A = this chain, B = another copy of it.
Amino acid sequence: LKDDIPKDFKFAGTHCGVKKKRKDVGIIFSEVDALTCGVFTKNVVKAAPVIYDEKILKQREIFRAIIVNSGIANACTGERGLKDAEEMARMTADSLGLKKEEILVSSTGVIGANLPMEKIKKGVETLSQTLGNSWKNVEDFANSIMTTDRFPKISTKRLEIKGKTVKILGIAKGAGMIHPNMATMLAFVVCDINITRRALCKVLRESVDRTYNMISVDGDTSTNDMVIVMANGKAENEVLDLEDEEFQRFFDAFNNVNENLAKMIVKDGEGATKVFEVVVRGARSLEEAKKIVRTILSSNLVKTAVYGSDPNWGRIIASAGYSGVEFDPNLVDLYLESIDGDERIALMLKGEPVEFDESKAKMIMSRDEFRFTLDMNSGNISTKGWGCDLTEKYVEINGRYRT
């Protein structure tokens, strides 16, 4: 595990008192300058750290550390919120002997409350003394960014690029307020690859579109989401750029880390008992395919049918029908499949019901993971996404989160 940590990155996570007992502040630190790119929430209402980071990422491309707190989102906090975000960067820089503008800031938690800056300051001091590159350090960080998460989310990948071993490590949080276009979801991916900025940013944007933007827990997009990638070049490979033959291999490895994290977020969806994958194929365009996948993933009626292991496929077709995409229902096929693809049941063919073995369908839907495949039979574009079921537990968690 320790061998999976990209070179010269250090981590720490501790408890400073934003939350009652659990870890609530963490740092990722690079020993050397790291090329950095970010993708942020599309919500009009952006939390202070999102506003702060977006601005500074337009001015600089080299950063050294990310400071994150959980428990309070520093969103809807006006001028004071912006000052607090900047102050978090400043105190982190002070503790680590860096400049303020080398630090990115991230928060997650309750909206509309101000950060307890004194507590965070003490937390940052503790963090700077406990930074390390052990697996325990990575786990401490992963734990420190959780809110309603039930488990920390870490994914790693190693591959050879230009004869050197490159390591990728991703850490994410998110369990609710999760919806396409970055929900309350934070993900930080660090790697030691030597890469151009344009290649790194492209990898990030495209991978986010295929992974975090294709999951839905509750249809709510948050004010605080961000995915940040840092690459410090310590793998010492010859610099990788878009035109390189090996670029695609790096993209695939990077995307694999993000897909793993995205699926973990869905699996940890508030109250969720299972994950379902939705594949749309035979679509006319990627935009249309995505719209249909996302609408199905977000339907409360689909999500409750998944919970009840009920092959009530009419709800899937109905939600595709209100996705905003025009299509001919009489062309559409719908299948229920086991996740390995070994078992497959046609539920609807060319818009009409098919007799199927209901007990077998129930059995497939009772598993931890399964898949609905919708063939639009109108083109050759496909895409996929992941969602979770809607349960009584979700309601319980969200009916009393703040209090």
Please, which residues of chain B bring their CB within 8 A of the CB of A112? 313-314, 317, 348, 353
A310-326 interface bits toward B, Cβ cutoff 8 Å, 1 = contact, 0 = none = 10111101111110011
Q: Which of A279-319 contact B (CB under 8 A)?
A: 298-301, 304-305, 307-308, 310, 312-315, 317-319
- Nearest Cβ on chain B to A186's Cβ, whole angstroms: 15
Q: Which of A97-137 contact B (CB under 8 A)?
A: 110-114
Please, which residues of chain B bring their CB within 8 A of the CB of A298? 219
Stretch at the interface among A73-81, A202-210, A255-263: A73-81
CA distance A44 to B329 in the complex (A): 7
Please, which residues of chain B bring their CB within 8 A of the CB of A56? none
Query: By the criterion CB–CB under 8 Å, are B398 and A304 in contact?
Result: yes
Residues A396 and B392 in contact in the complex (CB < 8 Å), given A45-B329, A110-B314, A220-B322: yes
Q: Which of A130-163 contact B (CB under 8 A)?
A: none
Please, which residues of chain B bring their CB within 8 A of the CB of A351? 76, 78
CA distance A356 to B113 in the complex (A): 13
CA distance A312 to B399 in the complex (A): 10
Query: By the criterion CB–CB under 8 Å, are A352 and B76 in contact?
Result: yes
Residues A318 and B222 in contact in the complex (CB < 8 Å), given A77-B352, A78-B351, A301-B176: yes
Answer whether residue A403 sits at the interface, using C-beta atoms and an 8 A cutoff: yes
Residues A300 and B78 in contact in the complex (CB < 8 Å), given A348-B112, A392-B392, A394-B395: no
